[in-house]
Structure formats: C-alpha cells, structure tokens
A and B are shown apart, each in its own frame.
Chain A
Amino acid sequence: MEANLTFKSKLLEADEVRRALTRIAHEVVEKNKGVNGLCFVGIHTRGITLARRLVEMIRGFEGVAPPMGILDITLYRDDLSEIGLQPKVRETRIPFDLHGKAVVLVDDVLFTGRTARAALDALIDQGRPSRIYLAVLVDRGHRELPIRADFVGKNLPTSKNEVVKVHTLEDDGEDGVELWEQ
C-alpha cells in the first residue's frame, strides 16, 4: 500500500502541531479543573509520543506531570478473525491504578473510530476509570462507530481514499501532518 501513495499536501507544519498540542494540554487541565486524578494513556505508536508531549507541557505550566501509560490495542481489534495479516502485539504498560481516574486516551488520527473502540475495551479491562476522554491531533472524519473526540488538534475533512500521516520529531525526525492519496 505504501508504495502506491502519492503526496498531496502538507496539512500542518511543525509550529501548528506544537500550538495544537499546547491548546489541548490547556483544555484538558481546564476541563479536569486541574491535574487531580488526571492521567494519560497513549496508543501505539504516535499516540504515545503525543501523550508524552502533553504530559511534559502540563508539567511545564502546572508543575506536576500526570502519570502516563502506553496501550497496544492489537488483542482488542475486531478484525483478527478476518484479516490476512498478523499485527505485531506490542507493549501495554499502565503502571498505575486506573480506578477512579480521569483518563485521557491519546491517538494521532481519529478515523473510523475502531481503534478508539478497541482502546476503550482494553482500558476498561484494566480498571474502572471515573471518566475517559479522547484526545487526537487530527480528526479526519468517516466514523464507522458512534465515537467522538473530546479534544481535537485539527478537524481535517478528507476523502476515504486519502491517507493522513502524522510525523513526530521523536518517531520520524520532524513534526508535521501530511495528506497522501492512494
């Protein structure tokens, strides 16, 4: 699939990514009325990077870094009995008790909603949070499930045959969001 993609446009520059994340960090703390009981769980791969950034930003302006975990949703996918590929099972590590916490689930792109659905099941298996929020850098539409994000960096209408690629400094060498076409 990768080989057949052609670049269309740059949707967000590095500065715009940074500003979007800064805004989300503030919105989360405002909504939660502080950092009490707040924690972050990043979804592999770039959701983890983005969650780490949000935690660091909050440490910067609140003086406290909320705890953070990482989540792999592979074992919760709804297509494991159908697909012809075998996704690699990656690490899940939530080193704190989720019970009673306000969890911010972080992913790079919200598309069909299936990853978020799997992530909700995976989280709930690990405890009973008082509240789960969803934060994404990009909401590109085309939901297949009744799921919405609480915090969105940028709403970007796309067509279904387009691909949104989020790049981060840590994973890809630079920040940015690009639109590609099949």
Chain B
Amino acid sequence: MTATQEPTPATAQPPRSLLDFQGWSRGQLESILETAKMMQEVLARPVKKVPALTGFTVATVFFEASTRTRLSFELAARRMSADVLSFAASTSSVSKGETYKDTLLTLDAMGLDAYVIRVDAAGVCHQAEKWLGKPIINAGDGWRAHPTQALLDAFTLLEKLGTLEGKKVAIVGDIQHSRVARSNAELLPMLGAKVVACGPATLLPGSLLAAELTTDLRQALSEADAVMALRLQNERMDKGLLPSLPEYISGYQITEGRLGWAKPDAPLLHPGPMNRDVELEGSLADSPRSLVERQVANGQAVRMAVLYHLLVGKKS
C-alpha cells in the first residue's frame, strides 16, 4: 500500500477509470489479473475472439506516438468484439489544453463508450474523465503513469513466481523519466512485493512512492526475485543527464555476470522497445531468463481484462 493510497474495502465499487492505481483496492486489481488469466485461455484458442463487448465502441486516442501499446489495446478491444476508433494526433502548435479538450469532445460526439489515451502531459487523462464522464484508460501520461504496463508486468511476474508476496523486484535504468517505473512502484507493493529502483543519481527521483532508491546496482540486484530493465532514452544524454553511454553501460547495464547477484533463475523483464547492449547485454534478451515475449503476449490478455472490468456492468 503506497503512502497516498487510502485502503479501499474489497466490496467497494472500483473507480470508473484506470488512470493509475489510486482508489483501487488490492482485491479489485487481483480480480482484473484473475480475469486476465481467463483471457489467456481465449487467446490460446483457434478463434481468438469472444462477443463480450459487442455494441461497445472504444477509442484509442494517442497524442504521443506509440505503435506497440496502441496495437495491443486495439487488438484486445477487437478480440472482445468492441468496435475501435483509432485516433492519432500531433499536438505541435496550438495551446495544448484546448486542443486536447476539443479533440476529445469532438470524438465523443460520435458516441463512444471508453477512451484509451496516451499523452505526453501528466494530468490530461484525469481531465479527460471530467470532460467526458466516461471510462478512461491511461495508456501512458508523461512520466507519471502507465498502469496497464504495470498490470502486465505484475501478471507476468505472478505467472513466473506464483506470488509477489515478500518478493524483491529490482527496477534498473532511467527511473526519473519512467512512467513504467512509477506505475510498478505503485502496483507491485500493493500486491506484496518490495520494489528497489536503481540508476545513476541524475536519473533517480528524490523519492518514488513506496520504492527504495539506490545508485548501487549490486545492492539493488542482491537477492532480487526479478529484475526489470528500463529503456535508456537517448535524449537524456543530449540533456547532459548522462556523461556518456559507455559510462552508463559500465555502471548499470544488466549483464549475465551481474544477473548472478540476483536469486538463481530470477527472471528479466523489459517493457520495450529495447536498446540491445545498452540497458542489457544483447544476448540476455533471448536467454531463457528473459520474459520479454511473455510480457508482450500477456499485455493483450491484461488489456482485454481491463476493458471487461471498466465496461461491463457499468451502464446505469
């Protein structure tokens, strides 16, 4: 349970939207993960489609470029038989607040039931819920949150480890600018795990919810039950936050040898897209310890489950 999180009784109504994990109880989130397991069975069939969301229309509105997340959401919605409206916008010129609102209200006039929104500015998804009064799924807002990524990471870890209770998960890389790190630091402790976030001092925030922060990679990986490497974004170098790539690699690249500090067989996760031989040794990505492909596959099942939980039974 994070510091900002009020305990919510399991019987309470879950929030209308998935913006982050505030207002969600452990029980409600576990129930989504349980449904995701059932969706995995759907995805294992020859006909990977169920009629559950027939009659619903889901819009994917991406103000920030992303192919993988958008495709994963759209496929998830289609596999549930929802209609999908796909909107990709660029936000270069106009006053941004107005543009977001006008764009969303215009789309809403087409009769939509839920929105999947990716945007470079934190807070837009919260505003969108107020503007539209409909379920919003945050598909990444700035550095703030990417809740479905954290859910699919948790799902993948649960699949591998059985439980997160008492497990240590190390997250390594550019913690400061990572919505993936932030959402995992929010979710994994709710499910019983301990999160240690690690990176060079210039890429570590002052604090990160319930996570422990360290610049010492060995300390972070020591006895870890799982290791998550984050993508190092090149633009960080341009801003002078990192002296050089070789320096980052020498201090923080996850290598076969360094993975030895973690528990034997501790799995390796990466949210993608991956810079091979930067945040992790290239060969590790294809090793049996890597769960990267499981993450991508599970992403669809988890997003199907999220859509089910946010849409079904919510009409008054």
Contact = CB atoms under 8 A, between A and B. Distances in A.
A171 B93 CA distance: 63
Given A81-B55, A84-B315, A89 B35 contact: yes
Interface residues of B, number: 26
Interface of A: 72, 74-77, 80-93, 121, 125-127
Q: 9 tightest A-B contacts by CB?
A: A86-B313, A75-B50, A75-B52, A81-B55, A89-B38, A125-B47, A89-B35, A85-B313, A86-B312
Interface of B: 31, 35, 38-39, 41-42, 45-47, 49-56, 80, 305, 308-309, 312-316
A80 B312 contact: yes
B35 A76 contact: no
Contacts of A89: 35, 38-39, 305, 308
Nearest to A90: B38
Contacts of A127: 46
A74 B31 CA distance: 15
Contact of B56 (A75, A81, A86): A81
A89 B38 CA distance: 7
A87 B314 CA distance: 11
Given A86-B312, A89-B35, A125-B49, A81 B54 contact: yes
A52 to B, nearest CB: 20
Given A80-B52, A86-B312, A92 B47 contact: no
14 contacts: A72-B38, A74-B52, A75-B51, A75-B52, A77-B52, A80-B54, A81-B54, A81-B312, A84-B314, A84-B315, A84-B316, A86-B308, A89-B305, A126-B47
Chain B CB count within 10 A is highest, among A84, A88, A89, A93, for: A89
B53 A80 contact: yes
Nearest to A91: B38
A91 B41 contact: yes
A121 B81 CA distance: 14
Contacts of B52: 74-77, 80
A82 B113 CA distance: 13
Nearest to A99: B46
Contacts of B49: 125
B55 A76 contact: no
Given A83-B312, A84-B315, 7 more contacts: A74-B52, A75-B52, A81-B315, A84-B314, A92-B38, A125-B47, A127-B46
